[in-house]
A and B are shown apart, each in its own frame.
Chain A
Amino acid sequence: MADKKSLRHEFTKGILKENPVLRLVLGTCPTLATTTSLESAIGMGISAAIVLVCSNIVISALRKVIPQKVRIPCYIVVIAGFVTIVQMLVQAFLPALDEQLGVYLPLIVVNCIILGRAEAFAGKNPVLASALDGLGMGVGFTAALTVMGGVRELLGSGTLLGFQILPESIPPMTIFILAPGGFFVFGLLMACANRLAERKGKPKAELGCAGCPMAKQCTAAQKKACDKPNGEGDKQ
């Protein structure tokens, strides 16, 4: 029973408690870039989730075979393989989505969420738990992207999934689908997430080297070169 409970925990933690975008602050690039419309946000979320689940399964199955020292390149090859598969499927069956996502589709390879989960979870845990972890994180990622995409599309073009929602008399605020709007909406979403976390007594989301999958390789992170200059980090 306890086992079942922990498996459920692996799945649900990614959705809210450890939401990859809003709590762990990973994968910010696709979050900002592909949320100009709800459709491309959902497409990105699902593509990344598929890659995440598959690569988590394979990496966790191979975790005893992969030598410690070359694990990062091994993970990257596995991830790149699945990204190529997803890329070819999207190109074949959803060419419109492929056009919308453009370069961001192959860039799922370098999405920190996927490498981060491989490094932090799938490399150390059994297959089923890793699959659920990947699924949970993927759902959390998709959910965060959906919210962002929904807000930006509604305010920026007055539509949702292409259907007119706001009346014609309200002119759409185009700025929200441009780059500055992305940063702005993400900042406010992050503020909301922080507020909710605070109410539950959890620490705020901070972008530091801790969440980065490359932290162990990075000399700068070990020296704390980028963290806490001029006492900024201590303020909170």
Chain B
Amino acid sequence: MKVYVAILLTAILTNNYILSKFLGICPFLGVSKKLNTAVGMSLAVIFVMVLSSAVTYPLNTFLDNHGLGYLQTIVFILVIAALVQLVEIVLRKYIPALYNSLGIYLPLITTNCAVLGVTILNIDSGYTFAESMVNSFGSGVGFLVAMVMFAGVRSRMESCDIPKFLQGLPITLVAASLVSLSFLGFTGLVENMFA
């Protein structure tokens, strides 16, 4: 049990996918202008991350057993793309309300490096199936936390008087730098908690 809590906290706080691993920066900068789009996108990411890890983990074992480990990248990205497409079709047909709030972000998620990143890192870190599920969920939640925090920071920034040369994207990146700096404070937290 301890292991799972440690993995969860590491994924959310110390090794946040956006703020310390730089995965999923495009949606982080692009979709964080409004709080509701940020939340919608993040929930879709959590869902796709968990689902695609659940599918790719057994697939990887299958590939390894047949000596096809080198096909990992191709197989993973194709599985994720197909899966996302499938989920989108199912949602649109059966749960239109959910589709309108989350489904519209799904095509973007296919090429989101955080999703492919989490599936590959699960394998590289040598997690068991249960551990990789926890890690995927935690990474998704970490994504959500960073997106929501940053949406708040950005709405504050709108009313600020920003020097002309920094307006727009540069100040957004500097703000991201400060948010990421605050997350550095969590370094060592998990290790000490379970020491």
A179 lies within 8 A of B19 (CB): yes
If A180-B177, A214-B107 touch, does A28 touch B25 (CB 8 Å cutoff)?
yes
Contacting A178 at CB < 8 Å: which of B25, B166, B174, B184?
B184
Which one of A32, A83, A190 contacts B170 once the chains associate, using CB atoms below 8 Å?
Answer: A190
From A28, A187, A195, A226, name the one whose CB has the most chain B CB atoms within 10 angstroms: A226
Alpha-carbon gap, A170 to B103, bound state (A): 52
Asked if A33 is an interface residue, CB under 8 A from chain B, the answer is yes
Let me know if B98 is at the binding interface, CB within 8 A.
Answer: no
Contact B73 A180 (CB under 8 A): no
CB contacts (< 8 Å) of B184 on chain A: these are 178-180
Residues B120 and A214 in contact, CB atoms below 8 Å apart: no
- What does DSSP make chain A's interface, helix, strand, loop or mixed? helix
Contact between chains at B108 and A184 (CB < 8 Å)? no
Cβ contact within 8 Å between A232 and B33: yes
Is there an interface contact between B167 and A77, defined as CB atoms closer than 8 Å?
no
Interface segment among B1-9, B53-61, B111-119, B128-136: the answer is: B111-119
Asked if B165 is at the interface of the complex by the 8 Å CB criterion, the answer is yes
Which of A3-11, A125-133, A215-223 contacts the other chain?
A: A215-223
Question: Could you say which interface size class chain A belongs to?
Answer: 35 or more
Question: Known contacts A73-B81, A84-B74, A190-B169: does B177 contact A32 (CB below 8 Å)?
Answer: no
Question: Does A225 have its Cβ within 8 Å of any Cβ on chain B?
Answer: yes
B33 touches A229 (CB 8 A): yes
For B, the interface residue count at a CB cutoff of 8 angstroms equals: 56
The answer to whether B73 touches A208 (Cβ under 8 A) is: no
* Interchain CB contact under 8 A, B167 and A236: yes
Chain B residues whose CB sits within 8 angstroms of the CB of A112 once the complex forms: 26, 111
Distance between B149 CB and nearest chain A CB, rounded to angstroms: 14
Beyond A181-B177, A190-B170, is A29–B23 a contact (Cβ under 8 Å)? yes
- By beta carbon, the residue of chain B nearest A107 is B113
Known: A107-B117, A217-B107, A236-B167. A207 touches B73 (CB 8 A): no
Whether A87 contacts B73 by the Cβ 8 Å rule is: yes
Complex contact B33–A226 (CB within 8 A): yes
Q: Which one, B25, B71, B104, B165, contacts A191 given CB within 8 A?
A: B165
Please give 13 more A-B residue pairs, beta carbons under 8 A apart, in addition to A73-B82, A76-B77.
Answer: A25-B169, A29-B25, A73-B81, A76-B78, A84-B74, A184-B173, A187-B166, A187-B171, A188-B174, A204-B167, A205-B168, A209-B30, A214-B108
4 closest cross-chain pairs (CB), A and B: A187-B173, A183-B177, A33-B22, A191-B170
